[in-house]
Amino acid sequence: MSEATTVTARRALIERYFALVGAGEIDAVVACFAEDGSFWPPLAPQPLRGHAAIRGFFEGLIPLFEQRHEVTTRVVVDGDRGLSELVFDATFPDGRTVHFENCNSFTFRGALFGDVRVYADAAEMRRQLGV
């Protein structure tokens, strides 16, 4: 595969991943990661490793909100690394809303994510979430 083709495929994986998160397609979200891949969400003290741990995170996250809206504002892919800026708006069942802006860092392993880390202001997230 040429470098340009690889970059195109990796950008597409990032865009597909966020679309799947938005659709709540947890099996397909998890399948974007390598079997031993890791995911480090902003409020976690350390990365979650492996499909089971990553699945557990999204199974907890997705039902939290009545409505969610994610918009990817910028994607950069360079070699085996990628960055994606994201704006996340959501509404809880009780009507409370949250608005987060973050940047996801991707390390690719072949055609999948090896590691994903979300850079965000955890202090602001805790304030909005009331935790």
Partner 1 sequence: MNRALVEQFAALHVAGDTAGIAALLAPSAVMQTTLSALDATGAREVEELLATTLQLWGDRHETVVAVLADAESGGVESTVRGTTAAGALTEVGVVTALGLADGQITSIRVYCDTTPFRA
Min dist. Cβ of residue 56 to partner 1 (A)? 22
Residues binding partner 1: number (CB under 8 A): 23
Angle at 106 between CA 4 and CA 53, to 5 degrees: 135
| 131 is a site residue for partner 1 (CB under 8 A) | no
Structure-token pair, residue 64: 């939290």
Q: Report the residue from 25, 70, 89, 101 that binds partner 1 according to the rule CB under 8 A.
A: 101
**Other beta carbons less than 10 A from residue 14's beta carbon:** 22
Torsion of CA 109, 25, 104, 75, to 10 degrees: 80
Q: Report the residue from 1, 52, 123, 131 that binds partner 1 according to the rule CB under 8 A.
A: 123
Look up tokens 């799947």; give the residue: 20
CA dist 87 and 8 (Å) reads: 22
**Contact code string over 8-37 relative to partner 1, x by CB under 8 A:** ------------------------------
Angle at 41 between CA 40 and CA 45, to 5 degrees: 70
Nearer to partner 1, 1 or 123 (CB): 123
Which span sits near partner 1 by CB under 8 A: 15-23, 29-37, 88-96, 115-123? 115-123
Judged by the rule CB under 8 A, the positions of this chain that interact with partner 1 are 7, 42, 74-79, 81-83, 85, 101-103, 105, 117, 119-124
